[in-house]
Structure 1
Amino acid sequence: MRRRLINSTLAVVLVVIAVFGVSLVIVETRTITSSAQDRVDSEAVRLVSIVDSRLLGKENISADILREQVEPGRHAVVEIPGREPIRIGDRLGGEVIESSARGEQGERVTVQDSRSSVTREVGRTLLIIAAVALLAVIAAVLLAVRQANRLGSPLTDLAETAERLGSGDPRPRHKRYGVPELDRVADVLDGSAERIARMLTAERRLAADASHQLRTPLTALSMRLEEITVTEDLDTVKEEASIALTQVERLTDVVERLLTNARDPRTGSAVSFDLDEVIKQQLEEWRPAYRGVGRAIVSSGKHGLRAVGTPGAVAQVLAALIENSLMHGGGTVALRTRVTGNQVVVEITDEGTGVPGDLGARIFERTISGRNSTGIGLAVARDLAEADGGRLEMLQSRPPVFGLFLSRTPKKGGEALLGEPGGPGAPGEDGPPAPVR
């Protein structure tokens, strides 16, 4: 592109120089020739007037007297009737410029000048024009190179940016070039880079969340299937198969929920459901894992409560908290249900050492973990709770107490009543949250 810009600019300049240069040469040549002819004519008129005045005064007329009146290098002939012609200067060879004038006494004066002087003057003019044209060409080339670099370098940068986007590097460059059209292209590429970065982040987050949320249900399902393969009791097989089918349905719900959150984290499908059923399901699913490590999981508090939310999402939140207690806590894990204002609260606590003080404010951030875990579980749990209008909080760090707040009645449009009188932290039927020990 640089070469095309330089060639096109140079071609335009050469055409302009050719058109105006040739015209200028013709005009200047005619002007110089006309000026030389005018000078010779003027000298002939002047010389004939001198001869006239001397003839009238009966003064002597000779070549020596008239020589001072003729420009050096020119040749003049004075013809007076009845006398020999008077010649002034050397005869000129080659082409000459000639002018004649007649006086009142019948005399005739002829002045000649060599055309070579005109040729030399025309040559000097041509050299000046050629020098100016050469300077114009050099200036045009320099300007063309500068303009080509100004346009070519940004286009190269933009091509590299587009190539980086295609290779999976969506970092915007935020580089501008002072050319409105190129800056517009750079704006579009930076905007595309930011959108691609958000898409890649969402894809990676979805993959991490799916890996984390599906790991435990798949492990439990695998254990159920192993029990089916080793037992010969038909009733046990049917029971385990029924539980396995239920877990498969839950896995399907987990996947759908993750995909929904990936598209819009605030999109929920909240309904009124029986909270006892969800808690019972979680206890049954997690008791084998707790028995395997010599620990227990129990529930207490009010029964027969109904909450507003997505049962599958609430089950995932409780599963994340129970798994967190299994991995990081100690002793018995207790789930306690209570009511505060228009809120149903499910508290999960254990008898472990609790959450370190430096992690308390950041416990729900992604990649934040007290041990060598992914740090995704609690972040996903909070997102799931908030998607249905609920809230997940750490009520106490030592011993650890986490509270899942759910609305008891749906708001207009299906939203939970959160942040209003009777919401989390407000005085309610049970008073302030108390840890379960």
Structure 2
Amino acid sequence: MRRRLLSSTLVVAVIAVLLLGVPLGLVVGRLIVDEAAKELRSEATRLVEEVEYARIQDAPLDPQQLKQKYPERYIQIYERGNPPKATIVGTPPPSGHQMMEDAQSDSGIYVRVSRDKDQVEQDVRARLLLIVALAVAALAVAVGLAIVQSRRLTLPLQDLAKIAERLGSGDARPSKHRYGIPELDRVAEVLDRSATRISDLLTREREFATDASHQLRTPLTGLTMRLEEIVAAADHPEVVQEEGEAAIVQAERLTAVIDELLAAARRQRHAQAEPITVDDVLVQQVTEWEPVFRGSGRELLLEGERGLQALATTGGLGQVVASLLENSLRHGGGTVRVSTSRGDNYVVIEIGDEGPGIDDAIAGRVFDRNVSGGGGTGLGLTLARALAAADGGRLELVRRRPAVFALFLRPVEEKGRTRVVTGPA
């Protein structure tokens, strides 16, 4: 590209120089010749006047003085009289290489002034050489400007190509380079926006993989537990059937969790909340987690008002409750109570235990990603709050010691209100 810019600029400069220089050279040459002829006519006229004045004064002409006054001129003066007089001054130019001009007066004085034409042609050549030198200098300046301009254009283009190649290789860092050229700056802005979008997509893909590994662990644990119960109850067909049905439910929940994660990763959860019976979800979760707590020597209780309804998704609410129960199992202690109540504007689900609670150092950041006080992944509470927000609810830490989390859900009366929320980023 740089070569094409240089060649095109040079061609344009050459054409411009030719269009301007050739006519200028012709005009300058013609002007020099005309100026030389005009000067000869002026000298001839002046000599006529001088000869007439000398005649009036009855003074003779001094050829030597005329030669000093008009150097490099061949002068012929003829005076009519009896006898006629002729005065010759200077050396005649070579034949065919002379310029001459005549002048005469009414009193019979005739003057011819001649000069060597080669001197005029030499002056014309000198001026033409000057024009050529200026043209060459103009071409050199044009080439220099073309080099500067080509570098100003090609270097940013090469930089943009490297940025695009880096984006294609997965390095989605915005360059924030600007070049002072509006068109190229526009391309750079578009690439930066594309880099931001690609970075966001890559971040969400990584988060999805991390979130999936964390969120799928809970249903898989429950499914494994049910399968172990089936194996342990192999001699009791009715128990095997019951546990097998529970394992099927766990598998269906696992599928629902995958759908929830995919929707969250693609930002496709938009106001999907619908009226659900809170007890159905809580009873299912307590039933699934009670054997695990019992195996750890702890008790899991469901308390509070029954028959409450709220706006949520069954899968989202189940994941939030499961995350809180798992968090209590891993980091809490004593009896875990799941209590429900109805406030003025919310249906409230509180989950608390009798453990040591949450350290003051992380209490304010307990919902931040990758923040954990007990060697966990630091994702459970982050995802739980995101899932609650996706359904239009809110998850808060209402007490630090012992820890109590409260999930605020919208009551069914808000179904007719327009509300659009999005899932986790």
| TM-score of the alignment, normalized to the shorter chain, above 0.5 | yes
Decide whether the 8 Å contact of 2:311 with 2:415 is kept in 1: no
Within the candidate set 362, 366, 369, 2:369 is matched to 366
Decide whether the 8 Å contact of 2:320 with 2:384 is kept in 1: yes
Q: CA deviation at 1:57?
A: 5.8
1:9-408, aligned counterparts within 5 Å? 9-55=9-55, 59-61=59-61, 63-64=63-64, 66-68=66-68, 71-80=70-79, 82-83=83-84, 85-93=86-94, 95-225=97-227, 228=230, 231=234, 233-264=236-267, 267-408=270-411
Query: Which segment drifts farther, 289-298 or 114-123?
Result: 289-298
CA RMSD of aligned residues (A): 2.6
Q: CA deviation at 1:27?
A: 0.7
Decide whether the 8 Å contact of 1:276 with 1:305 is kept in 2: yes
Q: CA deviation at 1:318?
A: 0.9
Distance in 1 between the 2:26 and 2:310 partners?
Answer: 101
Q: CA deviation at 1:381?
A: 0.8
The total of aligned residue pairs comes to: 415
Equivalent position amino acid for 2:50 in 1: I
Query: Which segment drifts farther, 127-136 or 101-110?
Result: 101-110
Q: CA deviation at 1:305?
A: 3.2
Distance in 2 between the 1:349 and 1:106 partners?
Answer: 139
Secondary structure of 1:411's aligned partner? helix
The 1:270–1:414 alpha-carbon spacing in structure 2 relative to 1, beyond 3 Å, is farther
Structure 2: which 5+ residue stretches go unaligned? 420-425
Distance in 2 between the 1:2 and 1:157 partners?
Answer: 14
Q: CA deviation at 1:75?
A: 1.2
Secondary structure of 1:294's aligned partner? coil
Structure 1: which 5+ residue stretches go unaligned? 417-437
% identical aligned pairs: 45
Equivalent position amino acid for 1:30 in 2: R
Distance in 1 between the 2:311 and 2:300 partners?
Answer: 25
Q: CA deviation at 1:179?
A: 1.9
After superposing on structure 2, the runs of 4+ consecutive aligned residues of structure 1 that deviate more than 6 Å are none
Decide whether the 8 Å contact of 2:345 with 2:410 is kept in 1: yes
Q: CA deviation at 1:87?
A: 1.8
Equivalent position amino acid for 1:260 in 2: A
Q: CA deviation at 1:121?
A: 1.5
Decide whether the 8 Å contact of 2:348 with 2:408 is kept in 1: yes
Distance in 1 between the 2:110 and 2:67 partners?
Answer: 16
Task: Output one character per residue of 1:87-121: Cα deviation in whole Å (capped at 9) or x when no partner.
Answer: 21123225111223344354532221011221221
Secondary structure of 1:116's aligned partner? helix
Task: Output one character per residue of 1:302-338: Cα deviation in whole Å (capped at 9) or x when no partner.
Answer: 3343333222211111100110011111233222233
The 1:265–1:218 alpha-carbon spacing in structure 2 relative to 1, beyond 3 Å, is same
Distance in 2 between the 1:80 and 1:306 partners?
Answer: 138
Distance in 2 between the 1:147 and 1:25 partners?
Answer: 30
Distance in 2 between the 1:275 and 1:107 partners?
Answer: 135
The 1:278–1:62 alpha-carbon spacing in structure 2 relative to 1, beyond 3 Å, is closer
Decide whether the 8 Å contact of 2:358 with 2:401 is kept in 1: yes
Query: Which segment drifts farther, 162-171 or 77-86?
Result: 77-86
The 1:268–1:256 alpha-carbon spacing in structure 2 relative to 1, beyond 3 Å, is farther
Equivalent position amino acid for 2:35 in 1: S
Q: CA deviation at 1:80?
A: 4.2
Equivalent position amino acid for 1:79 in 2: Y
Q: CA deviation at 1:217?
A: 0.7
Distance in 2 between the 1:284 and 1:249 partners?
Answer: 16
The 1:268–1:100 alpha-carbon spacing in structure 2 relative to 1, beyond 3 Å, is closer
Secondary structure of 1:178's aligned partner? coil
Decide whether the 8 Å contact of 2:10 with 2:143 is kept in 1: yes
Equivalent position amino acid for 2:8 in 1: S
